Amino acid sequence: MILLDGKKTSFEIKEEIAEEVTKLIARGGKKPHLAAVLVGNNGASITYVNAKVKDCEEVGFDSSLIKLSETISEKELLEEVEKLNSDDAIDGFIVQLPLPKHIDEQKVIMAIDPTKDVDGFHPQNLGKMALNLPTFLPATPMGIMDLLDRYNIETGGKHCVVVGRSHIVGLPASILMGRNSYPGNATVTLTHSRTSNLKEILQTADIIIAALGKPDFITADMVKDGVVIIDVGTTRVVDKSKKSGYKLKGDVDFAGVSKKASYITPVPGGVGPMTRVSLLKNTLITARTK
């Protein structure tokens, strides 16, 4: 079994990005600038956004963090998005999800200028992705593709089962795995909570991308020998031995499944770091076009 080390791989990609930034500046270009909008006090969102700002510093990007109150109205948030759309100093920005319940997330995503949508969530960018046109790929699916690529994992002709159909992970990952490219050219089955025979389907999978958010859901009896496992799940479960009081759990029972897998991502240290570095890759793309 080979561990798909997202931490190590993302570090290598960050070094490559930092070198590109140095070259960009040497050519008279400006530092790429990523902005992040954080609404409210969701603990996980604060952690993610702070990590994104730290990543920017590490590769030589400028970053801005726009903190807004939990009680901000949808109209006011849309005005903030508009300001970022028209600010030439900002190459790309993200609005950290989830948003408070009184705000329509889709409306906010639709308001982001697609050329600055480094999360790749705007329908225009998702459409281009589906058509295999150059665009920003959503960060987590892009991180998964990079991990498969860097480990030279064969995907063509393989049966890839994606568990979960969210707009940010499962659905785009299934499209990317089915595209006529590498990684891709897989025969894809997209499954969800209404799939009736999930275990039988999983038992035929060469590659499993698990993104459902249910700790240890996929167990050894559900997979075949030699399977490639990409575990996207990151659920916080109570762990009093940790300073934070919790640990992150994947959707796959690592102890059991790793005995049968040819490749497997750990949680943490697998898909998470790759997601973070994908955002930097997208920001570099926007900065290069300026």
Footprint of ligand NAP (CB under 6 A) = 140, 163-166, 168-170, 191-195, 198, 211-214, 232-235, 271-272, 275
Q: Please say whether the beta carbons of 56 and 93 come within 8 A.
A: no
- Distance in angstroms (rounded) separating the CA atoms of residues 134 and 114: 13
Q: How far is the CB of 31 from ligand NAP (least distance, A)?
A: 25
Q: How far is the CB of 10 from ligand NAP (least distance, A)?
A: 11
Q: How far is the CB of 82 from ligand NAP (least distance, A)?
A: 26
Q: Is 96 a catalytic residue?
A: yes
Q: With respect to ligand NAP, which residue has the nearer C-beta, 140 or 286?
A: 140
Q: What is the DSSP letter of 270?
A: S
Q: Is 124 a catalytic residue?
A: no
Q: How far is the CB of 241 from ligand NAP (least distance, A)?
A: 21
Choose, from 5, 55, 117, 119, the residue flagged as catalytic: 119
| CA distances to 40, 146, 171 from 165, in Å | 27, 20, 5
Choose, from 5, 14, 52, 251, the residue flagged as catalytic: 52
Choose, from 5, 14, 91, 96, the residue flagged as catalytic: 96
Q: Which helix (H) or strand (E) holds 126?
A: helix 123-130
The string of DSSP letters for 9-55 reads: HHHHHHHHHHHHHHHHHHTT----EEEEEEES--HHHHHHHHHHHHH
Q: With respect to ligand NAP, which residue has the nearer C-beta, 35 or 271?
A: 271
Q: With respect to ligand NAP, which residue has the nearer C-beta, 32 or 143?
A: 143
Q: With respect to ligand NAP, which residue has the nearer C-beta, 75 or 101?
A: 101
| CA distances to 96, 271, 283 from 100, in Å | 11, 26, 26
Q: What is the DSSP letter of 241?
A: T
Catalytic positions: 52, 96, 119
